[in-house]
Amino acid sequence: MQNSLRRIQNQPYVTYLLLEITLFVFLLETLGGGSESTYVLLRFGARWNPLIQAGQWWRLITPIFVHIGLMHILVNGVTLFYLGGLTERIFGHWRFALLYLVSGFTGNLASAAFNASGLAAGASTSLFGMMGAFLMLYDGFRDEPGIRMLARQFVMLAALNIVFDLFIPGVDIFGHVGGFVGGFLIAYALGAPNVGETAAPRRVGSLFALVAGSAALLIFTFGSAL
């Protein structure tokens, strides 16, 4: 019985749940008129600033579950399955859930601030947040060579993706950078007890930077609606 419970606890069930929700939403998009329809995307929660200014603040979170086209959901779904499972095992279930949602929020907020005219959707803000969390591991656990080696790979992957974003039209680079920074800060604020202890001043400082930066972007972007 104890072994069975341990196996269940070690499974990345938050990742599986997030993936199931994402796939279910994509199925509803497809049945509702197609995942590339602007009307369908807005109906299911894509980020669009005029609707956020009208009071639909949940659109700073819901875009992480909405995708545009089959290739978009395939790439993000596969990345979530593998990278999410690894991140969840390192940070733990509830920390991973917070990391995913908070970095999705900061990514969509940055997208809203610096890509105001566009419509945005996709889990990539949260996926980049997970890569930002690996930068925290790389920086915060310098005495753990295995963790640093693993973290370096994902930090390099994030850097390469951001460079590629500069040359690919239509990619929301601001959302990616915002998610990466948010993931780095929330990972420091939450800590990673499965790996080791994180100094309290760094945790407090990161939380302050996350809250202050998000508040500043909200005021800058939606000040008139607050």
Q: Are 36 and 69 in contact (CB under 8 A)?
A: yes
What pLDDT, in 10s, does the model give residues 139-178?
888 888 788 888 888 788 788 877 776 666 677 889 999 9
**Interatomic CA distance for residues 129 and 71, integer angstroms:** 21
What pLDDT, in 10s, does the model give residues 16-59?
999 999 999 999 999 999 999 999 999 999 999 999 999 999 99
Q: Which two tokens stand for residue 178?
A: 């915002």
Boundaries of domain holding 139 = 2-225
Q: Bridge-partner residues for 47, per DSSP?
A: 120
What pLDDT is attached to residue 8? 47
Phi/psi region, residue 67 (left: phi>0; alpha: psi -120 to 50; beta: rest), is beta
Q: Are 172 and 111 in contact (CB under 8 A)?
A: yes
Q: What are phi and psi of 203, to 5 degrees?
A: -65, -45
Which active-site residues does the annotation give? 124, 176
What pLDDT is attached to residue 205? 97
Helical ranges in 35-190 per DSSP H = 38-43, 49-53, 70-79, 85-91, 93-114, 124-140, 145-165, 173-190
**Interatomic CA distance for residues 112 and 132, integer angstroms:** 20
**Interatomic CA distance for residues 146 and 24, integer angstroms:** 36
225: pLDDT strictly greater than 90: no
Find the Cα–Cα–Cα–Cα dihedral 219, 103, 64, 38, rounded to 10°: 30
CATH number of the structural domain spanning residue 132: 1.20.1540.10
Q: Bridge-partner residues for 120, per DSSP?
A: 47
Domain count, the chain: 1
1: pLDDT strictly greater than 50: no
What pLDDT, in 10s, does the model give residues 83-138?
999 999 999 999 999 999 999 999 999 999 998 888 999 999 999 999 999 999 98
3-state DSSP percent of the chain in helix, strand and coil, to 5: 75, 0, 25
